[in-house]
Amino acid sequence: MYDYHEVTKHSYASVRRNPNYLAWEKQPVPFKIYNRFLNMIKLDDANPLHRFIYRIGGISAKKVYPGVEYYLRTIPSAGALYPVEFYFQCREVDGFEDGIYHFDVRNSAVKLLHRLGIEEGVEVFFEDSRQIKGFLFLLSSVYYRSSWKYRDRAFRYCLLDTGHGLGTIEASAYLMEYACRISYRFDKEALNRVFGLGRGEFFLSAALVGAAKEERAAYIDMQLEEISAPMEENALIEEAYHDSSVLQKCKINRRYDSFHYDKRRFDEVIYRRRSIREFHREAITKASFDAIMENLNRSVMSDCDEDVTIYYVINRVSGMEQGLYRSGDLVKRGDFSEKAGFLCLEQSLGRESAVTFFLTTSAENYQPAYQKAGVIGQRLYLSCEYLGIGCSGIGAYYDDETAAFLETEDMILYALAIGR
């Protein structure tokens, strides 16, 4: 098992030994703002391309408490800390100059940071350096936003949150009749430098929404300003990032497997998505569950597709036997709702759900496997929201106890609960 994963396991004892005290005076700001830019485009709801970008991580709700105001977004995030930043390159897209942009979520705008020179492009850092006509998204993580609260385990949440980001690009692209190809095989360290990302921020993945041309991209001569926010360095996370950035024996998955939603409703669903905070122990139907599973099991197009196994504990699904299932097969009969709640760090969400999921892997490529779990998580959220079923990601679970219950040697990547 990957070392970083091993040392960041939660167990019944570790959670009690190391309670998390939050240093509120050091709370990170969840937004990155560029003050120097070439052009700023306010995203306009009436413009389909602007909506396409807004849907991938824009603000979708505001909460106001005495003295504080915070924003929720189209993507969920562990602890609502939002470590993900979205950048994109645009080439030959109507209404956008060819260039490198940053999605300024706080201002619901995109900012042009660099105009592309002749043949220039970030594709030069990819294994396939053919120019992409369309959008090439780059997703980074500002890890302190998450490690402020979750300490060493935060790298896992950065990967899951980025996976949710990829999942929302996939969903938003589907509404524009575009396919989305995820890419992990690019020179991340070089791109980190060219984008002037400081020590606390690093690229994790890319999403290509466009078509490859014949011409190859030439080196992009750009040195963006470094914008540093107060942070505390975490050597374990930085080391885990560097180690797991080297990929080996990747399988390419080129199969596009489109969703079949009513597009107008699905558009609203992306904006409306929220995490459920408690369930009322109501059952869902088998037909709903089957529809959800069909979406989870659709192929995820990427250049490093790792196997992620989906286990689920059926607590309350009418027409289905209670028990633990693995990829569609019943492996243990019985009522495991108490057990599922216990494994999710005793959170009632795991116990009172209709279904509690556990995603696992034995893959060698940690970053792609973990982000795929996030993509599956985003598909689950959106499928559930579409059917009026609640969903919540659960990043806090007892690792070894879960593996023992599932009877697997796999790493446990993520838990999620759905229901009413």
Among 33, 80, 179, 236, binds ligand FMN (CB under 6 A): 80
- Residue pointed to by tokens 């959220």: 381
Q: How far is the CB of 377 from ligand FMN (least distance, A)?
A: 7
Shortest Å, Cβ 392 to ligand FMN: 5
User: Which of 164/339 has CB closer to ligand FMN?
Assistant: 164
Q: How far apart are CA 224 and CA 36, in angstroms?
A: 9
Closest-CA residue to 53 (of 123, 108, 106): 108
- Helix/strand/coil percent split, the chain, to 5: 35, 30, 40
Q: What is the DSSP string of 51-65?
A: HHHHTTT-EEEEEEE
Between CA 183 and CA 201 the distance in angstroms is: 18
Structure tokens at 39: 């052009």
Q: By CB under 6 A, tell whether 347 contacts ligand FMN.
A: yes
Q: Does 33 bind ligand FMN (CB under 6 A)?
A: no
Q: Report which residue type is found at 329.
A: D
User: Which range, of 77-85, 215-223, 249-257, 262-270, touches ligand FMN by CB under 6 A?
Assistant: 77-85
Does the protein bind ligand FMN through residue 353 (CB under 6 A)? no
Contact call for residue 350 and ligand FMN (CB under 6 A): no
111 lies in the binding site for ligand FMN (CB under 6 A)? no
CB 163 within 8 A of CB 308: no
In this complex, which beta carbon is closest to ligand FMN, that of residue 51 or of residue 153? Answer: 153
Residue 275 interacting with ligand FMN (CB under 6 A): yes
Does residue number 77 form part of the binding site for ligand FMN (CB under 6 A)?
yes
Residues 394-413, one symbol each (x = binds ligand FMN by CB under 6 A, - = not), give xxx-----------------
* CB closer to ligand FMN, 131 vs 378: 378
Binding of ligand FMN by 149 (CB under 6 A): no
377: number of Cβ within 10 Å: 29
Range 360-371 burial, b when 16+ CB lie within 10 A, else e: bbebebbbbbbb
Q: Is 393 in the site for ligand FMN (CB under 6 A)?
A: yes
Q: Is 72 in the site for ligand FMN (CB under 6 A)?
A: yes
In this structure, are residues 101 and 110 in contact, taking their beta carbons and an 8 Å threshold?
Answer: yes
Return the residues of window 156-215 that contact ligand FMN according to CB under 6 A: 157, 160-161, 164
* Interatomic CA distance for residues 241 and 156, integer angstroms: 10
In the complex, minimum distance from the CB of residue 61 to ligand FMN, in angstroms, rounded to a whole number = 7
Residue 240 engages ligand FMN in binding (rule: CB under 6 A): no
Element (H, E) at 325: strand 323-326
Collapsed DSSP state (helix, strand, coil) of residue 89: strand
Shorter beta-carbon distance to ligand FMN: residue 111 or 149: 149
Kindly list the residues in this chain that would bind ligand FMN in the complex (CB under 6 A). Answer: 72, 76-80, 157, 160-161, 164, 274-275, 347, 349, 392-396
